[in-house]
Amino acid sequence: MAEAVGLAASVIAIINLSAKVATLCLQYSTAVGNARTDITCLQNRLSDLGTSLSGVQHLLDNQNNKTLATSQKLIDSLDGCILELARLQSRLDPGKARKTMRRFGFRALRWPFDSKEVSGIVSNLEHYKQTITLCLQVDQTTILLDIRQRFEGVSLQPEGNASLAHKPCFSVPFDRDPDFIDRPDIMTWLKEQYTGSAGRQSCSS
């Protein structure tokens, strides 16, 4: 359970960090003209990552965590992704930058990454996204196979050695009704009415 809680907490942390970094990128795209291509590329990757992690969170909220054996091993990858995003946030929103924005406005901002750095960051985020997605696909496939095997193991045919002498009220696999009173004489009379000569005559008349 501790691993499941850690996994869910890491997923939520990444979703929140992705949103914060994306907001900072939007502020820079408004103020910085010469790096908009790099900023847009980073924004797109952050959006993809957030979408993937939202799917992970939905699965965690609606699935028994014990069945997500492969995803439980994602902790290291998720921690690495959190660290990457935290560094991004720190570079994009340091204390000096906030003071500069308050004093001179957004136009005083300078994009702190060159194209090579952005390419490396985008590559890392893509790696984390693919790793997370692959683990989820493995778990989902395992769950589907398990469901299929369970259905294949269910027989809809009656057992060959099942006795035909069982009373109908006990052929259904439910607990016996404590108020039920067995009336064999009535059951015998009913059978005679529908299977005997009198029953056939009444049906034909």
pLDDT of 170 reads 46
pTM of the model as a whole: 0.59
Tell the burial category of 62 from Cβ atoms under 10 Å away from its Cβ (0-12, 13-18, 19+).
Answer: exposed
Q: Which comes out higher in pLDDT, residue 72 or 191?
A: 191
pLDDT digits (tens, 9 = 90+) for 58-95: 777 665 555 555 556 677 788 889 999 999 999 988 66
pLDDT band, residue 41 (cuts 50/70/90): very high
According to the model, what pLDDT value does residue 63 have? 56
CB-based contact 122:84 (threshold 8 Å): no
Across the chain, mean pLDDT equals 73
d(C-alpha 188, C-alpha 178), whole Å: 22
